Amino acid sequence: MSADGAFSRSRLLPSLLGIVLLLMGLALLAGGIKLSMLGGSLYYLLAGIGLMLTGGLLLADRYAALSLYAVVLFASTVWALWEVGLDWWQLVPRLALLFALGIVMLLPWFRRPLRTGEFNPVGTGVLSAAVVIAGIAALASLFTNPGEIKGELDRDAVPGMTNTAPAMPDGDWNSYGRSAHGDRYSPLAQITPQNVSKLVPAWTYRTGDLPGPNDPGETTAENTPLKANGMLYVCTPHSQVIALDPDTGKELWRFDPKLSTQNAANFKGWAHMTCRGVTYHDDAAYASEQSPTGTANAPVASVCPRRIFLPTADTRLIALNADTGKMCEDFGNGGQVDLTTNIGEFTAGGYYSTSPPAVTKDLVVIGGHVTDNVSIDEPSGVIRAFDVHTGKLVWNWDSGNPDDTTPIAEGKVYTRNSPNMWSIFSVDEKLGMIYLPMGNQTPDQFGGARTPESELHAAGLTALDIATGKVRWHFQFTHHDLWDMDVGGQPTLMDLKTADGVKPAVLASTKQGSIYVLDRSNGQPIVPIKEIPVPQGAVEGDYTSPTQPMSDLNFVPPTLKERDMWGVTPFDQMLCRIDFKSLRYDGMFTPPSLQGSIVYPGNFGVFDWGGISVDPVRQIAFVNPSYMAFKSKLIPAAEIAKQGPRVSETEGVQPNKGAPYGVILEALLSPMGLPCQAPAWGYVAAVDLTTNKTIWMHKNGTVRDSSPVPIPLSMGVPSLGGAFTTASGVAFLSGTLDQYLRAYDVKNGKQLWEGRLPAGAQTTPMTYTGKDGKQYVLVVAGGHGSLGTKQGDYVIAYKLSE
């Protein structure tokens, strides 16, 4: 072998790295020029020049490459520290690649082929110093926790405060939110912070209900089962109801409604299959109530004294015998009510109820999901109350015609396109009110054609009289909503201790991050609500409200800045910055635009349908805020056909037929599919409701199941679904993007236990007591089509090991 051949081969690594640095520099230079033209950071342009020059020097075998690279690395470290400080998840992705290449360049066998005549120890020393400084900065950032709040609750109870939710056996879970108050608080205390680590699977049941080829859209498992009548009641995405033995998970009965597809297979992308829950009604629970004459009411004679009410994906409300699973023949038409009555035309899959109805002594009350952004001629968002025994329509409240609640005449149609209520009701039978978290009038991002009636009740909370359906009060949380800020969470009712005494409160968690606290008897704010100025400048034909209401109790994130754009490498960071600077963004409530606007918080919200959990004795709220930016771009109607078909409610162009604009709505993601804004993206937190102060707040969840490499990095991920708390001071949450059920100490937020799940669990777990006297924790793990989590059909119960 010749000396020239050996020398040539020894130069291979510097030459290869030189080529790599040239290509990296060229990419950064090109992107940096575009970013600088948009008014963004000059760093990427300058770094690109530095890397290209370094690459050229390496190809020329020049030792000066080390000194120049040292300047690039040192300047990058200073720039990164200036932008983000000692924030590990923002600092390290900025420096990791450059740091690793610096290490390579310091290796003796890398430097040896460079021209020895130009050897300069200063270059090696400078590069060594730059590498050490970058490494020290990264190590120091390991010990910081930006965005987190450390604290501890100093009490086990507030004197005189008790759980005032409707009574039921301590070991039951009779409603979606455990009680009709939607508090998600259990008085059970067998599982404690001290022993929760001993939780083990007690049983697993598989429903057999998995996504099918003819589903009209995404299949999402969002069910919270009930525990009542000595059974567990589970509903599946395809509207099946299954009764299980609470101790063993053995199937006791199953009801399959034999869904009609309504030809929905031809309309893929327009709907999703889900069932958040069913509703339980027991005549005996009301038998001891006093009639107006002062005598006890006799139980209503019924073929089904205990009933399960099931909303189906093909637009029916079915009453089942809770003992046997047979249809209650005395309800409606042979056990069911057709919810398409008086609704008018709609696209298959475009109208049905995804959430459980509410029940009172005499009524079952149901709303409906209306598919967003299809057209300006969609079904009404009417709320209907039926006799709980006969299925006869008692009253209807249509937000497009809010004053007339008399049952609609045969052949008439409810107001088209009026705001709907797709989420979960709360009920206070003592005050005689039912509380509606309201959506808005579709389309979501263009409101130029909305009626005054629809504007009045949209995107807020409306309280109706149970007996008549008449409006008792209402409060709007988003004026002229152009961001899909419908109120997704079930309102939470509790008695709240305030400086002015104990008040009957309703807490409404919202997508924009505010938790509005109102007196549920009259709708007056208990926690102050301020009207804040917001960005203006809607598209032609629309307008924006000059202000929006913000509660003093809120988890509203800071306004995004360019430096908040994130990625795992400098390249996707740069591309996210270009995206950010290319879009319109003036802060929260930036109007939709033809240019494209950033929506932050996004329409998955800080809080969505999972709502919040409260401990009425400790007077705290346990919450799981999420932070994901979205972007929306209005498309002129004449150009919609060029955009291709709609895929789902968050993918493809949303046509808004009849409106001047369609819209493309999607998450603000990097080319690698990760959020463009920096982590953390999800937290758990506790709020002291006597002071409205956050006690503690910790990032929650890992990227194990959502990153290309399944490493359980604790970055804090979004969660979709709710939590529950217990009298012993333990909270449970399963809704994160990784497949875990977790337990937390409500006093300080410490994670006490986690159980690995076989699928995503974007649901709200629950707890109950079995016939064996043991406390169980139950979760449905079925995955979520919209979020892309692993799908399944699992119902899993845990209890303490013996």
Active site residues: 484
| Amino acid letter, residue 442 | T
Q: Whose CA is closest to 529, among 537, 519, 521?
A: 519
How far is residue 592's CA from residue 88's CA, in Å, rounded to a whole number?
A: 33
Q: Is 463 in contact with 434 (CB distance < 8 Å)?
A: yes
Kind plus residue range of the DSSP H or E element containing 436: strand 433-437
Q: Whose CA is closest to 658, among 468, 487, 441, 512?
A: 441
Tell me how crowded residue 287 is: count the other CB atoms within 10 A of its CB: 13
Q: Chain-centre distance of CA 178, in angstroms?
A: 20
- Spatial neighbors of 198 by CB under 8 A, at least 6 apart, are 800, 801
Token pair for 474: 């209402």
How far is residue 670's CA from residue 679's CA, in Å, rounded to a whole number?
A: 13
Token pair for 43: 């760093």
| Amino acid letter, residue 291 | S
Q: Is 754 in contact with 197 (CB distance < 8 Å)?
A: no
- Spatial neighbors of 444 by CB under 8 A, at least 6 apart, are 372, 373, 481, 482, 483, 484, 603, 663
**Residue-by-residue DSSP string for 491-557:** PEEEEEEETTEEEEEEEEE-TTSBEEEEETTT--BSS-EEEEE----PPTT----SEEEEESSB-PP
Bridging pattern class, strands 613-615 and 241-244: unpaired
3-class SS shares of the chain: helix, strand, coil, % to 5: 20, 30, 50
How far is residue 497's CA from residue 470's CA, in Å, rounded to a whole number?
A: 29
